[in-house]
Chains A and B, each alone.
Chain A
Amino acid sequence: MEGTRSTRDAYGEVLVSLGVENPKIVVVDADVSKATRTSLFARQFPERFFNVGVAEQNLMGVAAGLSLTGLIPIASTFAVFATGRAFDQVRNTIAYGNCNVKIVATHGGITVGEDGASHQSIEDIALMRVLPNMKVIVPADAFEVEKALRAAVRIYGPVYIRLGRVPVPTVTSKCSHFEIGRANVLRDGSDLAILATGIMVSESLKAAEILSSEGVESAVINVHTIKPLDRETVLETAKRCGALITAEEHSIVGGLGSAVAELLSTECWVALGMVGVKDTFGESGSPKELMKKYGITAGDIVEKAKEVLNKKKTGRAVCR
C-alpha cells in the first residue's frame, strides 16, 4: 500500500478532466461545493456548474430535468442528505424516471468524524440499493474513484457513488481493471474470504496479513459495486472457501452484508460474518476512534474471522 488520499479529492480532479473531455457533463451542488470538491469544476466551467443552495430536494429534481435535455448531470452533496433528505426525489424522479443522473455523494460513513451522527451516513447504501434502476458503487481509493466515475458516465441511467471525507490508503493501482458489477480479487486464500467495500478494503488487507501470520489464508475481494452485486464471484468464493466475511463502513442492516446474505441464503449456505456498524448511530470523534468504537477495524475483522472459521468447522456448507 502506497500513500493515502481522500476519495473526494480524487473526485474533484476527475470531474475537471471529464469536464474537458465531455461538454455534456454538468455539475449540480447544494452549497457544499468546497467540501465535495465540485468547486474545482465550478472554477473551470462556471457555465456548466449550478449551485442550488441548501436545497437537496431541488438538487435532485434539477439534475433530473437537466438529464432530460440530453446533458449528463452529476449531483453532489453529503451522502446523508443525498440519500436521506432527498430520498423521495431520488426514488420518484430519478430512479423511477430512469434519469441519466449520477449522484456522487461525499462524506459517506462514520469517518466523517467530528461532525457527529447527524452527518455520518451509515444507511445510504441500503437506501440506494433498494431502488430499481439504481446502481451503487463505493470506490476503495482514489484510483477507483476515477474509474468508477468514468464508468458511470459511460452507461445510461442513475448511479450512486459513495465517497468519503478522510484520506484512505491506496489499495488499487492506476492500471487495475474496473468494471461496474465485477468484484476484484485483491488477495488469494482458501480458508475464508473477506468481501469488503470502500475504506474497509484496506482494513481487510491488513486483517488478512494478521490472519496469515496466524496460519489462516484469507482471500480479500474488493466489492466496489454493491448493486448489481457480482453474484458469480460471491458464489464462487463462497463455494471455494466455505466461510465469508463482509466488511463495510455502513450499518450491517441493508448494506453489503445484507446483499451478500440475501444471495447466500437462497443459493449457498456457508458460514457468514458481518463487520459493520451494528444498528446504532455514531457520535463525534476522530475517524480512528470511531472505527475502533464501532467495530470496523482490521482487528474486528480478525476477530470475526475466527468466529466464522469456528462456524465453518462445526457447520456444513450447502450450495446449490
Chain B
Amino acid sequence: MDEVRKKELTEMAKKLRIDILEMLCEAGSGHSGGSLSMADVFSYLYFSGILNVDPKNPDKKDRDRVVLSKGHACPVWYAALAEKGYFDKSHLKKLRKYGSILQGHPDMRKTPGVDMTTGSLGQGLSCAVGMAIGAKLDNLGCKIFAIVGDGECNEGQIWEAAMAAAHYKLDNLIAIVDKNGLQIDGFTKDVMNTEPLAEKWRAFGWEVIEIDGHNFDQIDSAIGRAIETKGKPVCIIAHTTKGKGVYFMENVCDWHGKAPSKEEKEKALASLCGEGAE
C-alpha cells in the first residue's frame, strides 16, 4: 500500500476514534474498548474503496454487506457511516438517546448503512451466512463482511455458522475476528479460553489469515487475499489492542462497557494526539 493512502487511512482511523470518544462521552454509556480496537479495520473497509457501497443508495441490491456480529462495538460503525456520508455527523451526538437513529446496538430499520440488526452475540455470523448464500443464488456478485468478537467466539452459534459457511463453500463471506483478548469479565484466556483460535477456524474449513489489526499493509493484503480465495470462506484474525489509541484504556478490561467522562475524554483525545502516554 502506498504511503499517501496509508496516511489517509491512518488519519481516518484517528477521526473515527475521536468520533467514538465524543459520542460515547455524550451518551454517557456504551462500549469504548471494542469500538477503538476496530477503528483501523473500519477505516480500511469504508475508506480504501474496497467496499462496493453507495451512501446515497444504502439499500442498493448488489452492495457489499457489513454485519457487525459484535454489535456492541457499533460506535465505530456509526462513526464510519457518518464520515462516509450515510447520515449527518450531528446524529453521533444522539447515540443511545431517545428518538435517535443510532440505537445502543445496531438496528437496520433505523440506521442507513446498517445491514443487519445485531446485539445478542453469536447471531450476526449466521445472518452473514444467509446473505452470502442469497447473494450467490441471485448472482449479486457482492461480498459479505462479518465482524466477530473473540469473546463472541464463546457462543455456540458462531460455530454452527462457521460449519455452514464452509459446507456451502461461501467464498463471498469474509469474517474478521477482533482478537483483542478481552471480554466483559476479563482476559479471554482466563474467562473462556478460545485458543487455539486460528486452528479452530481452520478445522471448521475456513481459510485463515492472521494479521496485526492495526497495520494497514497487513489489513490490505489480508482482505486482498480473502477476496481472491475461492471455494471456502475466509477468516481474518485481527490481533488488536482493546482501547487502542488511548493509553489508559488500552488492554484494560473495565473499558469494555464504559464511556469516558468529560475529563477522561479530554485526556483520551490528547492521548490520540500522542500526549500523556508514559
Contacts and interface: CB of A to CB of B under 8 A. Distances in A.
Given A47-B137, A89-B157, A92-B119, A70 B126 contact: no
A317 interface: no
A247 to B, nearest CB: 35
B109 A66 contact: no
Interface residues of B, dominant DSSP: helix
Contacts of B161: 58, 61-62
Interface string A34-69: 000000000000011010110101101111111111
B168 to A, nearest CB: 7
Q: How large, as a class, is the contact surface on chain B?
A: 35 or more
B177 interface: no
Given A58-B160, A70-B134, A97-B108, A65 B120 contact: no
Contacts of B174: none
A93 interface: yes
Size bracket, chain A contacts: 20 to 34
B126 A58 contact: yes
B122 interface: yes
Contacts of A156: none
Given A57-B160, A70-B138, A97 B116 contact: yes
A68 B127 contact: yes
Interface in B120-179: 120, 122-135, 137-138, 140, 156-157, 160-161, 163-164, 167-168
Contacts of A64: 116, 126-127, 130
Contacts of B124: 61
B137 A61 contact: no
A55 B163 contact: yes
Interface string A139-154: 0000000000000000
A61 B138 contact: no
B123 to A, nearest CB: 5
A26 interface: yes
A93 B164 contact: no
A52 B109 contact: no
Interface string B96-120: 0000000000011100000111111
Contact of A50 (B117, B118, B163, B168): B168
A48 B123 contact: no
Central interface residue in B126, B133, B135, by most chain A CB within 10 Å: B126
Contacts of A97: 108-109, 116-117
Contacts of B65: 68
B61 interface: yes
A73 interface: yes
Nearest to A50: B133
Interface string B36-79: 00000000000000000000000001000100000000000000
A41 to B, nearest CB: 15
Given A50-B168, A70-B61, A71-B134, A61 B163 contact: no
Nearest to B131: A65
Contacts of B132: 65
Given A57-B126, A93-B117, A97-B109, A65 B163 contact: no
A64 B129 CA distance: 10
A62 B109 contact: no
Interface in A169-186: none
B129 A65 contact: yes
Given A57-B156, A58-B161, A98-B109, A65 B168 contact: no
Nearest to A88: B120
Contacts of B167: 53
Indicate the member of B109, B129, B135, B160 with the most A CB atoms within 10 Å: B160
Nearest to B122: A57
Interface string A191-233: 0000000000000000000000000000000000000000000
Contacts of B157: 55, 57-58, 61, 89
Given A47-B137, A65-B116, A66-B133, 15 more contacts: A50-B168, A57-B126, A57-B156, A61-B161, A62-B130, A65-B131, A67-B134, A69-B134, A71-B137, A73-B130, A89-B123, A91-B120, A92-B119, A97-B109, A97-B116
17 contacts: A50-B133, A52-B160, A53-B164, A57-B157, A58-B129, A58-B163, A60-B126, A62-B127, A64-B116, A68-B134, A69-B61, A69-B130, A70-B138, A73-B130, A92-B117, A92-B119, A93-B123
